[in-house]
């Protein structure tokens, strides 16, 4: 039997957790059963080269987001190539690609719900569009219980039409010994003994790095030795640099830009700080936990489903600068506790969040709906 042909469609291949999920699915696939290709609605992006390095056929459907060539180009691609499975990721691709796939006669259409974007709840027209597009899907994959609950409560999806498949990572790649702390610190110009807090992610409104900087300023008031690393790029980069300057913490904050191997950032850091407005189940959280880097995160969505308070991480009410800074100081001043939390976090990732588990569960969904 020939392998089933799978086309993943995603809004872009820029920095993001959904892109990392696709990379893990492709890297861990059973080639005797499934052959994967990836189409991005517009442009190329960081993950283009990563996927190309795995030998994955890639398709950029339009040169820019504002040029909607992706609509006719996707229809032409689906009609020409006759894929067995269309696997759609992120809001725009879920809304655009599913109806086109249905019209083109793709046998199996999967919707992957990666995050609880509040725009769906705030804009009735967007919620209505997504609810309408879901009619074209054979099945929906949700990355967290909160994502699944939203689909049931707000979009009227039957629970039997949703499978919960938690995001996952390569636990061999992300392991405590995968990057050397001393060399990572030398690379980033850090002293061996100074406290370091890291933030990793796309510099956009969702990740709320403005709050990260406000927390940094509060911490520096108490301990001016603390350094902060921000790894990522995005539309708010210049504004965040200006905010750091206005807060008087430019000397304490390094904007690293895109870091291809984030293991070096986790290895250099004492703590990962996550201040997002909303999330599904962020890959950054899982990666840091696997590297035994203690996490202090906003208490929301999938992060609250992963972290057990005080055992393998800390959760703080969103926006509470004092509570965030208090938890960070607690971890910095009690290294034995930080080590215990890091070790417990690693154990949880090994048992529940391996990429091989995730890929197997996704392939089981594919198999269930193939003719």
Q: Which domains does the chain have, with CATH numbers?
A: 4-168+354-369 (3.40.50.2000), 181-352 (3.40.50.2000)
Residue 118: its pLDDT value, please?
Answer: 67
Q: Band the pLDDT of 217: cuts 50, 70, 90.
A: very high
- The pair of structure tokens assigned to 14 is 């820029």
Q: Crossing angle, helix 321-333 and helix 335-352, to 10 degrees?
A: 100
Indicate the DSSP class of residue 158: -
Residue 339: its pLDDT value, please?
Answer: 97
CA distance 158 to 41: 29
Tell me if 273 sits within 8 A of 209, measured CB to CB. no
DSSP string, 228-281: EEEE---TTHHHHHHHHHHTT-GGGEEEEE--S-THHHHHH-SEEEE--S--BS
Q: Band the pLDDT of 97: cuts 50, 70, 90.
A: very high
Tell me if 304 sits within 8 A of 296, measured CB to CB. no
Alpha helices in the chain (DSSP H): 17-27, 46-53, 70-81, 91-103, 119-122, 124-133, 145-155, 181-187, 209-222, 237-246, 263-268, 283-290, 301-306, 321-333, 335-352, 355-369
Whether the predicted pLDDT of 342 surpasses 70: yes
Q: Band the pLDDT of 125: cuts 50, 70, 90.
A: confident
Using alpha carbons, select from 86, 139, 152 the residue that is nearest to residue 368: 139
Residue 127: its pLDDT value, please?
Answer: 86
Classify residue 304 as exposed, middle or buried by CB count within 10 Å of its CB (0-12, 13-18, 19+). Answer: middle
Burial pattern 198-232, b for ≥16 Cβ within 10 A else e, equals bbbbbbbebbbbbbbbbbbbbbbeeeeebbbbbbb
The residue-averaged pLDDT of 89-98 equals: 94
> Which residue, chain included where needed, has tokens 């991005």?
40
Whether the predicted pLDDT of 121 surpasses 70: no
Whether the predicted pLDDT of 119 surpasses 80: no
**200 CA to centre of own chain:** 10
Residue 126: its pLDDT value, please?
Answer: 85
Whether the predicted pLDDT of 142 surpasses 80: yes
Residue 246: its pLDDT value, please?
Answer: 98
The residue-averaged pLDDT of 198-220 equals: 97
Residue 115: its pLDDT value, please?
Answer: 82
The residue-averaged pLDDT of 177-205 equals: 95
- The pair of structure tokens assigned to 65 is 């987001």
The residue-averaged pLDDT of 307-336 equals: 97
Residue 211: its pLDDT value, please?
Answer: 98
- The pair of structure tokens assigned to 192 is 């061996």
Whether the predicted pLDDT of 29 surpasses 70: yes
Residue 14: its pLDDT value, please?
Answer: 92
Using alpha carbons, select from 141, 137, 140 the residue that is nearest to residue 109: 137
The residue-averaged pLDDT of 338-358 equals: 96
The residue-averaged pLDDT of 26-48 equals: 96
Whether the predicted pLDDT of 122 surpasses 80: no
Tell me if 285 sits within 8 A of 308, measured CB to CB. no
43-75 pLDDT, tens digit per residue, is 999 999 999 999 999 999 999 888 899 999 999
Q: Band the pLDDT of 314: cuts 50, 70, 90.
A: very high
230-250 pLDDT, tens digit per residue, is 999 999 999 999 999 999 999
Whether the predicted pLDDT of 124 surpasses 90: no
Whether the predicted pLDDT of 229 surpasses 70: yes
Tell me if 83 sits within 8 A of 94, measured CB to CB. no
Residue 70: its pLDDT value, please?
Answer: 94
Q: How far lies 131's CA from each of 88, 93, 241, in Å?
A: 14, 13, 39
The enclosing H or E element of 315 equals: strand 314-316
Using alpha carbons, select from 105, 108, 40 the residue that is nearest to residue 74: 40
């Amino acid at each position: 039997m020939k392998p089933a042909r799978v086309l993943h469609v995603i809004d872009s291949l820029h920095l993001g957790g959904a892109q990392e999920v696709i990379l893990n699915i492709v890297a861990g696939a059973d080639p005797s059963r499934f052959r994967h290709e990836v189409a991005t609605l517009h442009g190329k992006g960081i993950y283009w080269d990563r996927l190309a390095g795995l030998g994955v056929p890639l398709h950029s459907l339009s040169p820019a987001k504002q040029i909607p060539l992706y609509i006719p180009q996707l229809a032409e691609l689906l009609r020409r190539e006759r894929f067995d499975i269309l696997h759609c990721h992120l809001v725009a691709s879920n809304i655009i690609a599913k109806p086109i796939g249905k019209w083109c006669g793709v046998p199996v259409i999967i919707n992957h719900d990666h995050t609880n974007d509040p725009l769906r709840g705030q804009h009735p027209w967007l919620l209505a569009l997504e609810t309408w597009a879901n009619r074209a899907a054979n099945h929906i994959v949700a990355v967290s219980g909160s994502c699944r609950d939203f689909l049931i409560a707000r979009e009227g999806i039957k629970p039997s039409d949703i499978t919960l498949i938690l995001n996952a990572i390569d636990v061999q790649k992300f392991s405590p010994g995968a990057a050397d702390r001393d060399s990572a610190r030398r690379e980033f110009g850090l002293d061996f003994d100074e406290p370091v807090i890291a933030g990793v992610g796309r510099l956009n409104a969702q990740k709320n790095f403005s709050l990260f900087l406000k927390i940094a300023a509060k911490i520096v008031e108490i301990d001016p030795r603390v350094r902060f690393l921000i790894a990522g790029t995005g539309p708010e980069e210049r504004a965040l640099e200006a905010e750091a300057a206005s807060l008087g913490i430019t000397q304490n904050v390094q904007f690293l830009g895109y870091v291809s191997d984030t293991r070096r950032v986790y290895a250099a850091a004492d703590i990962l700080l996550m201040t997002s407005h909303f999330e599904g189940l962020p890959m950054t959280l899982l990666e840091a936990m696997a590297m035994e880097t203690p996490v202090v995160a906003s208490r929301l969505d999938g992060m609250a489903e992963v972290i057990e308070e005080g055992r393998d991480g800390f959760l703080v009410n969103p926006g509470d600068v004092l509570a965030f800074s208090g938890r960070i100081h607690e971890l910095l001043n009690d290294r034995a506790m930080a080590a215990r939390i890091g070790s417990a976090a690693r154990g949880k990732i090994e048992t529940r969040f391996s990429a091989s588990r995730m890929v197997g569960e996704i392939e089981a969904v594919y198999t269930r709906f193939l003719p």
